[in-house]
Structure 1
C-alpha cells in the first residue's frame, strides 16, 4: 500500500511538471491573455479537468509558472553566492560589494540566456503594464531584499550619493533583460561591421556599465 501511494505521489509531481512546462511555453509565446487552457491541455497531453484540479484556474497555473521560475533563480543565486548574500560586512566593504554586483549581473545574464521563456513572459507583462503580475498571490522579493543591502551600501559611501538605492536593483535587472532582448539584433549589426559580439563580452560590458555607474568613483 505504501509503495502504491508513493507511486501515485511521484506521478502527480511529474504530471504537474509536464503541465507547467507546457504552460510556460504557451505563456511565453502568447502572453497570459492570449494563452488558452485548451491549448495548454493539448500541449501537455492532459485534459482540462486535471489542470483545474491541480491549479484551480488559469491564474493559479500562471502563478505556479512564475513561482517556479523565481525559486529556480533563487536556488542558483544562493548556491553560487550564498556567502556574499549573508555576509553582513558586504555593505561596508567596497571590494565585496563590487564582487557582489559582478556576480549578480553575471548570474542574472546567464540565467536569462538559458531560460528565454521567463524573459519572454516578463516582456509580455511589461507590455501589459503588469496587470496580471499584480493579481497573483506569489510575490518575488528580490528587489526589496537587495534594496536593503544597497541602502546600507549608500549610507556607507560605497554607492554614489546621486543614485537611488531603491531603483538600483530595478536598473540592474532592466540593463540585463533589455540587452538580452536586443542581443540578436545587435549581434547581427556588429558582425556587419566586422566586430563580433560574443555573449561573454556583452556580459562584461554590462557589468562595467553598472559598477562604474553606481559605485563611488574614488573606491574603484
Structure 2
C-alpha cells in the first residue's frame, strides 16, 4: 500500500511539475508574440515536451492560453485580493477618506509589484489591448477583480468619497490602465525617468501613480 501510494504521489507531482513547465513556456511565448502569432510548436520546443502532451493537458491553444491567464490572475489575487475583500467586508472603511487613501496606495503598490515581478503577464495584457481583447473575450475564465473594484467604487461614491461625476464602472478600468501604461511606457522615457530596476525609483514612481489615481477619483474636497 505504501509503495503504491508513493508511486501515485510521484506521478501526481510529476504531472503538476510538467504542467508548470508548459505554462511557464507558454506564458513567455504568448508574451513575446501575442496570442495570434504564438505557435504550439514554439511552446513545445521551449518547454521540452511534445505537442501531443500539451493538447492532452489543455485541449487546444485557447485552452492553454486560458490556463496561463488563470494562473497569473490567481497569483495576483493572492497579492491584491485581501485589500479589496477587507474593504467589502467592512463598509466603515469606505466611509473614512484616509482609510480609502491607504487602500488605494496599498493596492497600487501591490499591483505594481506584481506586474514588475511578472512582466510577461503585463506584456500579455498589452498584446490583448492591441488586439482589441478579442482572445480575452473568448476565454471561459473570468477574473472578478473588476467586479469587486466596481463594488468598492459604488459604495465609496454612495458615501461621498468617490467623486460624484465619475462613472463607477470606469473606476477599475482607469486604475488598471494608469498602472499598466505607466509601467510599459517607462522604458520609452528611461533617459528622463531612469530604470525601474532601482528600488528607490520604483518606490517613487509607485507613489506618484497612487497620488495621480487618488486625485483623479476621490472627491476633491477630501484631498
TM-score, normalized by length of structure 1?
Answer: 0.93
Shift of 1:82: 5.5
Q: CA RMSD for the aligned pairs?
A: 1.5
Partner of 1:151: 154
**Is the 8 Å Cα contact of residues 97 and 161 (structure 2) preserved in structure 1?**
yes
Equivalent positions of 1:18-29 (< 5 A) are 18-29=21-32
Partner residue of 1:90 out of 93, 99, 102: 93
> Per-residue CA shift, 1:48-102, capped at 9, x if unaligned?
1100110011100000000000000001124567544532222222121111111
Distance change >3 Å, CA 190–CA 19, structure 1 → 2: closer
**Is the 8 Å Cα contact of residues 159 and 216 (structure 1) preserved in structure 2?**
yes
Distance change >3 Å, CA 190–CA 61, structure 1 → 2: closer
Distance change >3 Å, CA 148–CA 135, structure 1 → 2: same
Partner residue of 1:166 out of 145, 164, 169: 169
Report the Cα distance in structure 1 between the residues aligned to 2:15 and 2:169, rounded to whole angstroms.
Answer: 41
Equivalent positions of 1:193-212 (< 5 A) are 198-212=201-215
Between stretches 113-122 and 85-94, larger displacement belongs to: 85-94
Partner residue of 2:69 out of 66, 69, 78: 66
Report the Cα distance in structure 2 between the residues aligned to 1:212 and 1:80, rounded to whole angstroms.
Answer: 20
TM-score, normalized by length of structure 2?
Answer: 0.92
Gap runs ≥5 in structure 2: 195-199
Gap runs ≥5 in structure 1: 192-196
Distance change >3 Å, CA 95–CA 140, structure 1 → 2: same
Distance change >3 Å, CA 77–CA 85, structure 1 → 2: farther
Secondary structure in 2 matching 1:185: coil
